[in-house]
């Protein structure tokens, strides 16, 4: 709350309350006899904790890659997991080893961008195969990865056009 047009008694009462509430995490910004603002340090700490929790969620997203239905799929999953874990390790190193110059929020966003560049695709996950089998598909069809959509650039001749 911003204090404006306060009397000396109001300021003194507010100061007493701030001293009394100091242990609860309240702080005041003062200039001379005028209290300019009171803010709750606990709210700031809660926001910092929430940002740390978001960072941990991003790391969990990085290392949570669904299990594959086949050995070949597990090879793809393993390579993908290594790439994603390396991205998480880079973020953690930046945050833990020194104060990141662009801030924790940027580091989290950057990690999520890196994860988006390496999505868990290219293999059939175990749950997909189990669902296909439950629907009566033969095992050989249940574990075949979907054919990727051809990109428009792949349709162009090697010379770049006509």
**Closest by Cα among 104, 125, 112 to 53:** 104
Backbone angles phi, psi at 35, to 5 degrees: -85, 120
- Could you tell me the mean pLDDT of each successive run of 10 residues in the chain, 162 residues long? 61 65 54 54 75 94 93 93 96 89 92 94 89 88 75 55 47
| First vs last C-alpha separation in the chain | 68
Q: Is the pTM higher than 0.75?
A: no
- pLDDT value of residue 7: 73
**Closest by Cα among 59, 66, 41 to 120:** 66
State how far the Cα of 77 lies from the Cα of 60, in Å rounded to an integer. Answer: 16
State how far the Cα of 81 lies from the Cα of 127, in Å rounded to an integer. Answer: 18
Concatenate the DSSP letters of all residues of 12-52 into one string.
HHHHHHHHHHGGGTEEEEEETTEEEEEEEHHHHHHHHHHHH
Distances (CA, A) of 78 to 69, 71, 123: 13, 10, 11
């Amino acid at each position: 709350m911003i204090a404006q047009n306060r009397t000396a008694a109001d300021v003194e009462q507010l100061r007493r309350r701030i001293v009394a509430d100091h242990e609860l995490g309240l702080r005041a910004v003062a200039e001379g006899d005028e209290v300019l603002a009171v803010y709750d340090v606990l709210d700031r700490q809660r926001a910092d904790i929430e940002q740390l929790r978001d960072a941990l969620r991003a790391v969990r997203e990085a290392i949570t890659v669904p299990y594959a239905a086949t050995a070949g799929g597990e090879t793809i999953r393993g390579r993908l997991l290594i790439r994603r874990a390396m991205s998480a390790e880079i973020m953690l190193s930046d945050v833990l080893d020194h104060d990141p110059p662009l801030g924790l929020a940027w580091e989290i966003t950057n990690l999520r961008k890196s994860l988006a560049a390496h999505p868990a695709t290219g293999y059939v996950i175990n749950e997909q195969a189990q669902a296909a089998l439950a629907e009566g598909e033969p095992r050989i069809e249940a574990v075949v990865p979907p054919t990727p959509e051809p990109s428009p650039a792949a349709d162009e001749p090697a010379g770049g056009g006509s």
